[in-house]
Structure 1
């Protein structure tokens, strides 16, 4: 079936149960996420410093915002999604991904990254303003205060540019967390009432000035035409949560795939010693555990999160943090395979410990908001922080407390194996929720 003249995606038959899944256009769009995550993960591969870690987080959040805005468009618009808009956003994100290597040292790349981000944001804003719709679950699409620092950064150089980007992203994240669906509706109603009031006052003034020149019937017809010309009130729309859960899960799967790619790539360049085989197997098990924790025991690609436990805008905030941590883990695992027969250097060890702790913290938040209770959450996740702490505090070269890379990977495996096993053996609130859903 060919696309319509308007450029909307062709109609796709639904599944037997009417459940909607990702379209071919959405899956094609996700290819740029694969490229972007790969470029971002490489920022940490050579030895993360505080500066490199900050740069990674900054660029990842910007890339994620660009991805989620186009994803939300396809989610809400459905079969009316315009191919041109999605492909244009994909091109902008391709420029962002290509600009990542060496972005701090190149004004050309930094300006290209900022300009591409601005264009993707404007495309997202334009498609919704044209539809006269406001997305309640992602208010930053229409509330573009966070875009101002990015515009200013086009004329700024050096680290000041990165600080402006960070300020813009902090504003956007704060808007996403604080602006609820009810707040957005109230603001739209207020602005619309004010616009109607201004129109009525203008018509009244024009009527008074022209009362002597125009017959009453003609004056009334002119006022009616002016009211009809006033654009219709924006409609507040919400996400298709089942489809969004699949899309967010696919993004987490992409970040896991980058971990596989970096590990396999590292293993292909090393001699296959006994130590490498042990570490490579441990890395594979670690990937399986994250997949199980995030995609089998949670929803929206978030570990231990029950459906409808949080508003979508808060789910998106947590998803950004979790996906950022998993993508950083890809770099740590590639480094672990490279140093399989050695003592992992302190930067790599701290990176591995940090991203594991962040993954576990997100799981704690998701379990608590899902109604698991403090007791179940502490038992399921508390012990997992112990090996993560040992990873962070373990020895380094020359201090007499050296831990080999194989031991560090084994500690990481044990950290994630515990909550996965606990969830399987003591399902707690999840069993009741699954029973109600069935």
Structure 2
């Protein structure tokens, strides 16, 4: 099957103004992100521990990388996107999502998770290399060192397998940080120059061999044959960049999916509890928290990241921040679901630490985004500093067994205050980021 996605209103990929938006194929593909995020968030639902947090981080990062590689393929390919490639990648991610609960206990499911990740990644990289293109904004599509530990893990058992996965993901993250578009172009130019030199050497060797045989050819025919030898070389790879407006929309849609998991978990928990005053108060607070995260991520920034100006960072670094932020919000969904279940009690210390930890990660991401957007250290600290103090109070509060321990209602109220502060700061002290903010278009849809 080699059907490509066509443009026009039928695909929903292009508006009347020529701006590209997510196609029906891409929106269908995102359904697997809904399933995967739900499975991953449930890893923390029964209570966080060091082991469960580490497992969650590795599996979320792997699932997100699989999603973003497939997304970047569609972003760069545009109307030439192969339906078969996207659907196959979607099936691979479905296998990954289904295997998440059994990764720790079942060798078969863990092996299936690893194999599906390898297949999804190869599909995305082959789809681009087959067209002679190198995606500058996602260098791991071309530089596959991080894939080697995953391949080795197919023959490894137990916790060692997770450590191999973590090593592969760390390699990929290092590549994303270090390899720029310019570095990729230099490497391609050097490899191409060496390939041309080898082709010329082969052609000269062929000519000398013909001369030794006494069959010297007329100059025109000799040059024609040399040209034929050179034409056998592959076409020089072309460095291509992402469609930034379309990518901003796709990353924002992923954040909506993650926020949707927060709604699902809190509504599901509330449906199973008696609706006393505690549940009503916590349920309302949880809803406000999700609204505040939505506002912070999708109204005050770009690419689904809080307080970020659209062109403040290279896309490859934006992707890493997005992964960090999305993982924190997905973990927040699990913490909020637990909070609704424990509405009438003092929040257990592990649950409270999880809530404080993911809130701190969300706020630190916002601080980094504000700083790189040129808003100034004073503005950034004013937007995030007081909120981090509130989170610190939540983290160091007495435990659930202590008579002075924070109740769940108070813990949720503190979380609301922590997130409301940067949203209010951005509304009343908007500042002026150094990076250009477009007045309209998909990227502007994520700015305040």
TM-score normalised by structure 2 residue count: 0.95
> Within 1, Cα distance between the matches of 2:81 and 2:207?
44
SS at match of 1:167: helix
Match of 1:383 among 383, 386, 396: 386
For structure 1, the residue ranges without an aligned partner over 5 or more in a row are none
> Within 2, Cα distance between the matches of 1:209 and 1:371?
64
> Within 2, Cα distance between the matches of 1:284 and 1:346?
22
1:141 positional shift: 0.3
Please name the residue that 2:253 is paired with: 250
> Within 1, Cα distance between the matches of 2:150 and 2:438?
48
1:40 positional shift: 0.2
Q: Is the 8 A contact 2:47 2:350 kept in 1?
A: yes
Q: Could you give the per-residue CA deviations for residues 181-211 of structure 1, whole angstroms, max 9, x where no partner exists?
A: 0000000000000000011011111111112
1:281 positional shift: 0.2
Q: Is the 8 A contact 2:311 2:436 kept in 1?
A: no
> Within 2, Cα distance between the matches of 1:298 and 1:111?
38
Please name the residue that 1:7 is paired with: 3
Q: Describe how 1:351-366 pairs up with structure 2 within 5 A.
A: 351-366=354-369
Q: Could you give the per-residue CA deviations for residues 230-275 of structure 1, whole angstroms, max 9, x where no partner exists?
A: 1110000000101100000010111000000000000011111110
1:436 positional shift: 7.4
Q: Could you give the per-residue CA deviations for residues 356-399 of structure 1, whole angstroms, max 9, x where no partner exists?
A: 00000000000000011011111111000111111111111333
1:17 positional shift: 1.9
1:137 positional shift: 0.2
2:202 matches 1:199: no
Please name the residue that 2:137 is paired with: 137
Distance 1:271 1:130, change over 3 A: same
For structure 2, the residue ranges without an aligned partner over 5 or more in a row are none
Please name the residue that 2:179 is paired with: 179
Match of 1:215 among 214, 217, 228: 217
> Within 2, Cα distance between the matches of 1:6 and 1:57?
36
Match of 2:308 among 305, 308, 326: 305
Aligned residue pairs, count:
434
2:146 matches 1:146: yes
Q: Could you give the per-residue CA deviations for residues 100-145 of structure 1, whole angstroms, max 9, x where no partner exists?
A: 0021111000000000000001101110111100000000001000
SS at match of 2:101: coil
1:435 positional shift: 8.7
> Within 2, Cα distance between the matches of 1:180 and 1:435?
24
Please name the residue that 2:401 is paired with: 398
2:55 matches 1:68: no
Please name the residue that 2:123 is paired with: 123
Q: Is the 8 A contact 2:374 2:434 kept in 1?
A: no
Q: Is the 8 A contact 2:374 2:435 kept in 1?
A: no
What root-mean-square deviation, in Å, do the aligned CA atoms of Structure 1 and Structure 2 show?
Answer: 1.5
Please identify, of 233-242 and 222-231, the stretch whose mean Cα deviation from structure 2 is larger.
222-231
Match of 1:260 among 251, 263, 266: 263
Distance 1:307 1:275, change over 3 A: same
1:11 positional shift: 2.1
